[in-house]
Structure 1
Amino acid sequence: MPLFEIETNAHIIITWAADEEAAHAVVVDAYPTDNVIRMTKRPRDSWVISKGALGLTTTTTLDPCVTARDCLAKSAGDKVHAIRLYMNQTGTDLDAARKVIESNMVMGW
């Protein structure tokens, strides 16, 4: 069963569901007043949240990059492909693109 990341106006929900319709039903059941902002079918069956990205370590916190997250979504989580997409969209060099994509992966893309 796929894992979905669902962002609403008030929550981020991680849930297993058969499809997007079933994932949306989870939100309606649990938080009927929330509006779904973004729903992503995760490319893997597990979820990892970096303590550094949450500011729970001495590591600098990172800001999510909408372009990088879009590239990761388009590449289905394939880091190398996401880096290429990011370089193409932004004109960034390889090293900078790698850092942006990897930092967004750390934040639980």
Structure 2
Amino acid sequence: MPLFEVETDSHIIITWASDSDEASGVVSVAYPHDTVLRLTKRPRDTWVISKSALGLSGKTDPCNTARDCLSKSGGDKVHAIRLYMHETGSDLEQAQRAIESNMVMGW
């Protein structure tokens, strides 16, 4: 099954799909308010993201609390950051780093 990169007005989604219609369907289910801007069938069956290009260094283990906050917020980063601050007592910078790094790791 091919790997597709789907860019919307708010997200970049990497998904397995049998064709471009199915890949677009993934977006409509996961992010019904997003509009697909670009859909590309990837030439290979893997996707690599450089952590250094994203500004991540050191330990990057997934954080269950951050992932729970992302899930509760429906992927809304700002709301997830607020939830994380409330649940952990972290300051804004710590919460933003935790949420964004977990978003990058595919919560």
Identity of aligned residues (%): 68
User: Residue 6 of structure 1 aligns with which residue?
Assistant: 6
Distance 1:26 1:56 in 2: 28
Shift of 1:24: 0.4
* Superposed CA offset, 1:16-68 (max 9, x none): 000000000110111110001111100100110001111124xxxxxxxxxxx
User: Residue 28 of structure 1 aligns with which residue?
Assistant: 28
Distance 2:21 2:49 in 1: 25
Distance 1:46 1:19 in 2: 16
User: Residue 19 of structure 2 aligns with which residue?
Assistant: 19
User: Residue 100 of structure 1 aligns with which residue?
Assistant: none
Per the normalisation by structure 2, the TM-score is 0.51
SS in 2 for 1:55: coil
SS in 2 for 1:49: coil
Per the normalisation by structure 1, the TM-score is 0.51
Gaps of 5+ in 1: 58-109
SS in 1 for 2:54: coil
Q: CA RMSD in A?
A: 1.4
Distance 1:55 1:37 in 2: 26
Distance 1:5 1:42 in 2: 7
**Alignment length (residue pairs):** 58
Distance 1:56 1:12 in 2: 18
User: Residue 56 of structure 1 aligns with which residue?
Assistant: 56
Deviation >2 Å, runs of 4+: none
